[in-house]
Amino acid sequence: MKKECLNIVESKCRACKSCALSKTRHNVVFADGNPESASIVFIGEAPGEMEDLEGKPFVGRAGELLNEFLAEAGISREDDLYIINTVKCRPPENRIPTDAEKTACEKFLNAQIDIMNPKAIVFCGATALKSFWPDQKVQISKIRGNWFNVTINGKEYKAMAIFHPSYLLRNHSMQDGSPRRLMQQDLIEIRNTILSDRIPAQEFAMV
Ligand code: URA
């Protein structure tokens, strides 16, 4: 049922020419994951080069690293997450999408969230977070890992912000308090809270 509704939004999105990114894209990057089983909507920034070429979010280097972190935390990318971006077409040179581009894509993003009606939303990186956070000076490093409520289209959702995997590609340390360690902790918290029907993280680590 969700799939049919999303298919309608997707076909409109594929035909979209509301902003200049439509002229340079190879593919519209609409979403990845199983909308019928996913209970978490995972929002990134915008497609990069590989995503633009393959038409799927998070398939480049950042996506590969994300996959490793998800698997380690016991979160199934295929079944637990519905992965989308704030902007569906690649900004040239991977620059941050402009406000105008974000506004042009907002209707698709909001429709995806509305149809999914997830148990939680995970904002991956500052661009995704700032699309919904009133104070644009918000720092991901300050609020990551904490649950908060976000209202979208009049509906309240449980939400958490996490680091973007591109940031982790530049930060290799696994020491306590390092970005990679915090990412591990945040994903385990998400799994234990939202996917609480699973075996607890400590036991999962021993399997
Ligand atoms: N970074 C993002 O934020 N989204 C993608 O799909 C790929 C890289």
What gap in Å lies between CA 18 and CA 31, rounded to an integer?
19
Query: Six-digit token pair at 177?
Result: 């308090």
Report the nearest atom of ligand 1 relative to the CA of 165: 1
pLDDT band at 137 (very low <50, low <70, confident <90, very high): very high
Q: Distances from the Cα of 57 to the Cαs of 17, 44, 53, 142, 205, in angstroms?
A: 20, 8, 10, 26, 27
Residue 47 C-alpha to ligand 1 middle, in angstroms?
5
- Hey, CA dihedral for 135, 140, 143, 146, is it positive or negative? positive
What is the predicted pLDDT for the residue at 110?
Answer: 98
What is the predicted pLDDT for the residue at 166?
Answer: 98
pLDDT digits (tens, 9 = 90+) for 56-100: 999 999 999 999 999 999 999 999 999 999 999 999 999 999 999
Residue 207 C-alpha to ligand 1 middle, in angstroms?
31
What is the predicted pLDDT for the residue at 202?
Answer: 61
pLDDT digits (tens, 9 = 90+) for 19-36: 999 999 999 999 999 999
Q: Is the pLDDT of residue 109 over 80?
A: yes
> E-strand spans in the chain?
32-33, 40-44, 81-85, 120-124, 148-152, 155-162
What gap in Å lies between CA 81 and CA 68, rounded to an integer?
14
Query: Six-digit token pair at 2?
Result: 């969700």
Pocket, ligand 1, Cβ cutoff 6 A: 44-48, 51, 57-58, 60, 62-63, 85
Q: Is the pLDDT of residue 206 over 70?
A: no
What is the predicted pLDDT for the residue at 196?
Answer: 87
Q: For the residues 125-131, what does the mean pLDDT come to?
A: 98
Superfamily per CATH, domain 2-194: Uracil-DNA glycosylase-like domain (3.40.470.10)
| Terminal alpha carbon distance of the chain | 35
User: In a 3-state reduction of DSSP, which class is residue 14?
Assistant: helix
Q: Do residues 75 and 124 lie in contact, with contact meaning Cβ atoms separated by under 8 Å?
A: no
What gap in Å lies between CA 174 and CA 124, rounded to an integer?
19
Instruction: Give the long-range contacts of residues 9-15, CB within 8 A, separation 24 or more.
Output: 9/108, 9/111, 9/112, 9/115, 12/108, 13/88, 13/108
Residue 55, Cβ neighbours under 10 Å: how many?
16
Residue carrying the six token digits 């959702």? 157
Atom 6 (ligand 1) nearest CA: 57
Q: List the chain domain ranges.
A: 2-194
Residue 203 C-alpha to ligand 1 middle, in angstroms?
31
**Sequence letter at residue 147:** W
Taking Cα atoms as reference points, which of 43, 42, 55 lies closest to residue 14?
A: 55
What gap in Å lies between CA 101 and CA 89, rounded to an integer?
9
pLDDT digits (tens, 9 = 90+) for 7-17: 999 999 999 99
